[in-house]
Amino acid sequence: MDHEPNPSASGGPADQPPQPAPEALCPEEFTGLKLSKPKTAAAGATAVVVSLGHVFGTAGIRQGLRALTTLNQAQGLDCPSCAWPDPDAHRSFTEFCENGAKAVAWEADTRRLTSEFFRTHSIDELAKESDYWHGQQGRLTEPLVLRPGTRHYEPISWDEAFKLVAEELNALASPDEALFYTSGRTSNEAAFLYQLFVRQFGTNNLPDCSNMCHESSGSALVPSVGIGKGTVKLEDFEKSQLILILGQNPGTNHPRMLTALQAAKRAGSKIVAINPLKEAGLLAFRNPQEVRGMLGFGTPLADLYLQVRIGGDQALLKGVMKALVERGTALDRVFIAEKTDGFDAFAATLTEASWEQITAQSGIARDAIEQFADLVAANERIIACWAMGLTQHKHAVATIQEVVNLLLMRGSIGKPGAGLCPVRGHSNVQGDRTMGIFEKPAVWFLDALGQEFNFTPPPKHGFDTVEAIHAMRDGRAKVFFAMGGNFLSATPDTEVTGAALKNCRLTVHVSIKLNRSHLVTGRTALILPCLGRTERDTQNGKEQFVTTENSMGVVQMSRGSLVPASPHLLSEVAVIARLAEATLGEHSSVPWRELAADYDLIRERIERVIPGFQDYNARARQPGGFYLPNSPREGSFPTDTGKARFTSHPLHEVGVEPGQLVMMTIRTHDQFNTTVYGLDDRYRGIKNERRVVLMNTADIRAADLTAGAVVDLTSHFHGDQRVARHFIVVEYDIPPGCCATYFPETNVLVPLNSTADISNTPTSKFVAVTVARSAN
Ligand SMILES: Nc1nc2c(c(=O)[nH]1)N[C@H]1C(S)=C(S)[C@@H](COP(=O)(O)OP(=O)(O)OC[C@H]3O[C@@H](n4cnc5c(=O)[nH]c(N)nc54)[C@H](O)[C@@H]3O)O[C@H]1N2
Ligand SMILES: Nc1nc2c(c(=O)[nH]1)N[C@H]1C(S)=C(S)[C@@H](COP(=O)(O)OP(=O)(O)OC[C@H]3O[C@@H](n4cnc5c(=O)[nH]c(N)nc54)[C@H](O)[C@@H]3O)O[C@H]1N2
Ligand SMILES: [Mo]
């Protein structure tokens, strides 16, 4: 081995000041913007053509068809894209969407990345390429190492790679100097083994993508309804009378939700959309699985569209609840008396909030709020759905608790056709948390884990994602290990995160394709290539399957059918087991190799530790899987008082300085988080360019700009400024004072310390910026 031997715990780059990381940023070149009118309906025939184009383009016809035909079928492959559930029965032959097809095509890529590629391309050259380009280079095929002082990855054997990680981990002064990140695609089986390894190693440093995603939802729901998950099933949509969709773009990010919305509309339900943008998938849906949809006939969706100002949701919700109280008749008094507490204190906050504040902050006129109240008052089976438009704000937890308050006023939780629906992102992000991927584990969980595996898990809470970046930057964490994801590009404050990663002794990524996190590294870096979910996972001569939990608490199997991209790939489960053996050696009470050889054995252990998994192996094999218990769904609330809780919040002031705009960072139609499938945002009419800033006509004029102008964006936070250069102004229907850009190009502007109260989620949807013409 020619890498440096064991570091002393205090030596190394962590003692030097953090180095800047310009290579962490996305390249600033333009790709050629083309504009058309934003669409007024989602899906239809174009979606089918686009899906097939993607699949046949990168995966080839045979491979692509094979993967697609098992997608979301009972006992087939759980789609690696979003966490929207599959129907319990009557699945159509094509139970996937355009973006599921893109995800599968991206993974089933027939191109291969070998060590030869890395011999000819240094990490500096690779960092100059775009995220789109990175994804187009094909699948990783063998373990790679970047030795200290070198700029090229080179091959390394699996044994040597595990030994290297184990040596670095065991040389740390404390296990708390290591960080173990998880992205939400990891299966239940891998997640369970991973957190077990990390806790046996001795830390709860398990930051995950959820910290940047629905953490605010969990933080809001646990104290108010007793569990951190949603309370509806898919079938509730058809039984509902009213569906509220706040801060979510289902046409792009959860396309199969549109089928549920269409069915609900046909059954007579009404929809209220609350979003600063008129998103196509909230306006109408042309179901590509129906002849009418293919012919271009759409189902109108939103009955009321409230173009709220960014960050104005709490005000709007206060407004609608104030209107309900003022009417006097619209409250479910029996439900409030029997099932809840805290109503009087909560009602007082509605009196305190003035109509002037409410309309100014929300940007919604009083009469529109009264129309919203009419719909809420006329219906009692109400579902509220939300996603990142609510969770990534300073007052996200309070705002989501106002959503809960609204439903509690109407008795709309715990009965058919009603309830809370935080719409999850990654396909198994909810399952990972159930499996114990959490930096703040519950005491009962640690006790059960310790008892099953005969050890004492560390009680001290670990670092979440933002705290992990601080710890690396300050030299308190020295080894960073990522089970999937793209930490550098997904996290806020890209240059700070880049410097933090460079401050580590070792950075390790278990990945399926090249991404920017591989290029901004610790002193030593490893890329460990693993099987994707579409691929056959054979252990000990026996084909294995994994399980995942969707947004509605259904646990189901996922089995890949494709031949692995390379014979050298390991499953995530195998990577963890071998790493654990190498690191923990004789000390471990866990039969790692045995568990990794037969995933049924892992599920048996999960069943003994985590409630709700009885007969796991049998029930995972049932078509469609099984529901985890969810008592709020049945109308009983496992809070400390046994009641659901009205939460009292003042109406928080949100605003920016004069001359500044509020910027939200959103996804295009052609990306999955940091994975860029293509350069179009079809529904918004923006093609072939990602470096755009969507602005209101009046703000463009006020800043003395014109549509098409090339601008730099500067964010302002507590006196600090951050700059992102070269964006094209696009005139767009967005409330005044607001603008929108795409994630991850503008993550560099999101300040690391700008996070939500309680959940510590970065405020990716609320960044104070100024926009000025580029100097060059
Ligand atoms: N194809 C595809 N599918 C995905 C993903 C993907 O990238 N691509 N990502 C997955 C993941 S991990 C997640 S978390 C989800 C994300 O799903 P979404 O939350 O739908 O994703 P975003 O693009 O962040 O969109 C946020 C929406 O909220 C609106 N919004 C922003 N700020 C506010 C606000 O202050 N108030 C209100 N009311 N609305 C606001 C925006 O206009 C936008 O419509 O999707 C998952 N599914
Ligand atoms: N500004 C801004 N920042 C955001 C957001 C935002 O809205 N705005 N959204 C936040 C949200 S909601 C989330 S969830 C995070 C996402 O953060 P992450 O989950 O860290 O990021 P992803 O882009 O989903 O990760 C993509 C990478 O995962 C790897 N991968 C894909 N499939 C597999 C697999 O099966 N196994 C393994 N081991 N690796 C795999 C691929 O190599 C790919 O490059 O980003 C957050 N960041
Ligand atoms: Mo997410």
State residue 8's pLDDT score. 36
CB atoms within 10 A of CB 123: 18
Are 659 and 770 contacting, i.e. CB atoms less than 8 angstroms apart?
Answer: yes
Residue, of 473 and 55, whose pLDDT is higher: 473
C-beta 763 within 6 A of ligand 2: no
pLDDT at 620 over 80: yes
pLDDT at 242 over 60: yes
pLDDT classification of 10: cutoffs 50, 70, 90: very low
Dist. CA 661–CA 565, nearest whole Å: 46
Are 768 and 514 contacting, i.e. CB atoms less than 8 angstroms apart?
Answer: no
73 contact partners, CB below 8 Å, separation of at least 6: 91, 95
State residue 18's pLDDT score. 65
State residue 589's pLDDT score. 92
Dist. CA 300–CA 303, nearest whole Å: 8
pLDDT at 659 over 80: yes
State residue 754's pLDDT score. 98
State residue 52's pLDDT score. 72
* First-to-last C-alpha distance (Å) of the chain: 48
Residue 34: beta bridge partners?
Answer: 687
State residue 91's pLDDT score. 62
Identify the weakest region by mean pLDDT among 140-149, 284-293, 526-535.
284-293
Q: How many residues does the chain have?
A: 776
CA nearest to 589, candidates 445, 457, 444:
457
Asked whether the domain spanning 661-773 has the same topology as the one spanning 121-199+439-631, the reply is: no
C-beta 511 within 6 A of ligand 2: yes
pLDDT classification of 314: cutoffs 50, 70, 90: very high
Q: Atom 19 in ligand 1: which residue has the minimum CA distance?
A: 388
Dist. CA 399–CA 411, nearest whole Å: 19
Residue 510: beta bridge partners?
Answer: 483, 528
Q: What is the mean pLDDT of the chain?
A: 93
Span from the CA of 392 to the centroid of ligand 1 (angstroms): 10
pLDDT at 95 over 80: no
* Residue 385 structure tokens: 């759905």
Range ranked top by mean pLDDT from 2-6, 398-402, 675-679: 398-402
DSSP state of 598: -
State residue 90's pLDDT score. 64
CATH topology (fold) of 661-773: Barwin-like endoglucanases (2.40.40)
Residue found by looking up tokens 């333009």 in the block: 30
Span from the CA of 140 to the centroid of ligand 1 (angstroms): 29
Identify the weakest region by mean pLDDT among 81-90, 148-157, 201-210.
81-90
Task: Determine the CATH number of domain 233-417.
Answer: 3.40.228.10
State residue 94's pLDDT score. 57
Span from the CA of 133 to the centroid of ligand 2 (angstroms): 17
Q: Across residues 327-338, what is the average pLDDT? A: 94
DSSP state of 455: S
Identify the weakest region by mean pLDDT among 458-467, 580-589, 711-720.
580-589
* Residue 206 structure tokens: 């398990």
State residue 2's pLDDT score. 35
Residue found by looking up tokens 């029965």 in the block: 89
State residue 17's pLDDT score. 58
Q: Atom 37 in ligand 2: which residue has the minimum CA distance?
A: 484
pLDDT classification of 3: cutoffs 50, 70, 90: very low
State residue 32's pLDDT score. 96
Span from the CA of 249 to the centroid of ligand 1 (angstroms): 5
pLDDT classification of 629: cutoffs 50, 70, 90: very high
pLDDT at 9 over 50: no
- 253 Cα nearest atom in ligand 1: 3
Question: What is residue 387's three-state secondary structure?
Answer: coil
Q: Which ligand is nearest to the CA of 427?
A: 1
Alpha helices in 454-598 (DSSP H): 465-473, 487-490, 494-502, 572-584, 592-597
Dist. CA 683–CA 268, nearest whole Å: 26
The bridge status of strand 738-742 relative to strand 692-695 is: antiparallel
Where are the domains positioned within the chain?
Answer: 43-107, 121-199+439-631, 233-417, 661-773
pLDDT classification of 87: cutoffs 50, 70, 90: confident
State residue 13's pLDDT score. 43
pLDDT classification of 1: cutoffs 50, 70, 90: very low
State residue 96's pLDDT score. 67
Span from the CA of 683 to the centroid of ligand 2 (angstroms): 22
Residue pLDDT, tens place only, 109-157: 999 999 999 999 999 999 999 999 999 999 999 999 999 999 999 999 9
Dist. CA 513–CA 140, nearest whole Å: 5
pLDDT at 743 over 80: yes
Domain 121-199+439-631 matching CATH 3.40.50.720: the answer reads no
Dist. CA 487–CA 553, nearest whole Å: 26
